[in-house]
Amino acid sequence: MSELLEVKDIVAGYGDGPAILNGASLTVQPGKVHCIIGPNGAGKSTLLKAICGMLPVRSGNVRFKGESLAGLRPDQILQKGICFVPQERALFPKMTVRENLRMGGFSLKDQSDLERRVDEIEEQFPILKERRDQHAGTMSGGQQQTLAMARTMILRPDIVMLDEPSLGLAPKIVQQVFDIMKVMADTGITILIVEQNALLGLRNADWGLVLDLGRSLFEGPANDVLEDDRIQELYLGGKKVA
C-alpha cells in the first residue's frame, strides 16, 4: 500500500508555549476518508494545522508523496495539493460567494482556467449558484460550510483536511455536510477529517485514528475502532449504543 501522506513523530505547539503534539504519527492512504477522534485538547486541530504549515513543526517530519514538507509556507503546501478547511471555515465575509470561489483558485498558476472551474462548482452545488452575488458573511452556517468545502475543489487537490465541519450546525444540516464530503471523496479527493462527535465521524469514515495528549493511540479501519472496548470506554462514552 502506498502512502499519500506520512506524518511521523511530530512535535508542535503555539508560539513559545508548551508542545500540544508530542510525537503524533499517522498515515493517509489515497482515496479514503480518514477520521481523527480524541478528547478535547488532544491536539486534533493542531495536527491539521501542523500538516498544512500554519504551525511550525518542531521535530519529526511530514512527507507528502514521499517528499518532505519541512519548512514550507502554507501557500507552498497548498500548491502541492493539500487543502485545509478550519473550524472557522475561512470565508471572506465581505466578498460575494462567487468571489470567495475565485479566491479558492488564487494559487492557480493558470488563472485563465479559473472562471470555468468556478462555473463547474456552481453547477455541482446549486445553492452556491443561487447565492453567487450574496456576501458570504450573510449566509447560514450550513451554506457557509458548503461554500468552504466546495471551494477547496477548485484546486482539485489530493487531500482535503476538514476541522470539525459539523461544529455549530443543526443535526439535519450535519448530514448534508457528510454528504458533501462523500461527493468530494467520489471525485477522488482523499479526506482527513477531525470530528468531535466520534461516533458520527467514524461511521462516515473508512479509517479511524485516535489521538490523545498529542500522541497517536490507535489506528485501524473505522469499524474496528468503533468496536474496540478500550476506545468505547475512554472516548465514546461507555457502552456502545446499538
Partner 1 sequence: MADIIQIVVLGLALGGVYALMGSGLSLVFGVMRIVNLAHPSLIMGGAYVAYWGFRLYGVDPLIALPVAAIILAATGVLLYKLIFEREAKSAKYSEMTVLLTFAIAMIVEGGLATAFTNTQRVTSPGYATDAFFIGSVFIPKGQLYAGMVSLALIAALALFLKYSRFGYAIRATTQNREAAELMGVNVNMVGLVSFAIGIGLAGAAGALVSFVFSFFPSKHWEWVAVLMSLVVLGGMGSILGTVVAAYVLSVLAAFVGYFFGATWSVLTFYLALFVVLLVRPQGLFGEKPEMA
Partner 2 sequence: MSNIGETSDILAQRKTYNAGLSQVSDKSRATWFPLLLLALLTALPALQLVGNYNYLIHLVLYTLCYVVMASGWNILGGYAGYISLGHNVFFAVGGYFAGMVFARLGISTIIIAPIAGLVAAALGYLIGLITLRVRGPSFIISSLALVMIFRIAFENWHFVGGAAGVSLQANDMDVQWAKLPYYYAFLAMAAFALWASYRIRHSKFGLGLRAISKDEVKAESAGIDTRFYKVLACAISAFFVGMAGAVWGEYLTYIRPNIFLVILISVNMVLMCILGGKGTVAGPALGAVLIVAFNEFFVATLGASAVNIMATGVIMAVALMFFPNGIIGTLAKHRKLPRILNWD
Report the interface residues with partner 2, using CB under 8 A: 23, 25, 212-213, 215-220, 224-225, 228, 230, 234
- Identify the CA nearest to 84 among candidates 46, 139, 140, 131: 46
- Choose from partner 1, partner 2, none: what does 96 bind? Cβ within 5-8 Å by kind: none
- Identify the CA nearest to 135 among candidates 85, 89, 180, 94: 94
H-helix or E-strand spanning residue 211: strand 207-212
151/176 Cα distance (integer angstroms): 16
Measured CA distances, 109 to 39, 130, 155, 223 (Å): 40, 28, 10, 41
- Choose from partner 1, partner 2, none: what does 8 bind? Cβ within 5-8 Å by kind: none
Residues forming a β-bridge with 28: 5
Between 139 and 205, name the residue whose CB sits nearer to partner 1: 139
Q: How far is the CB of 153 from partner 1 (least distance, A)?
A: 13
Q: Please, what is the angle between helix 141-152 and helix 171-186, to 10°?
A: 10
- Near partner 1 by CB under 8 A: residue from 75, 119, 130, 233: 75
The 207-236 contact track toward partner 1, x by CB under 8 A, reads ------------------------------
34/168 Cα distance (integer angstroms): 21
- Choose from partner 1, partner 2, none: what does 215 bind? Cβ within 5-8 Å by kind: partner 2
- Near partner 1 by CB under 8 A: residue from 106, 123, 170, 179: 106
- Near partner 1 by CB under 8 A: residue from 13, 43, 104, 142: 104
- Near partner 1 by CB under 8 A: residue from 8, 67, 70, 168: 168
DSSP secondary structure, 14-55, as one string:
STTS-EEEEEEEEEE-TT-EEEEE--TTSSHHHHHHHHTTSS
Q: How far is the CB of 50 from partner 1 (least distance, A)?
A: 14
- Chain contacts with partner 1 (rule: CB under 8 A): 15, 52, 54, 73-75, 78-79, 83-86, 88-95, 103-104, 106-107, 111, 137, 144, 168
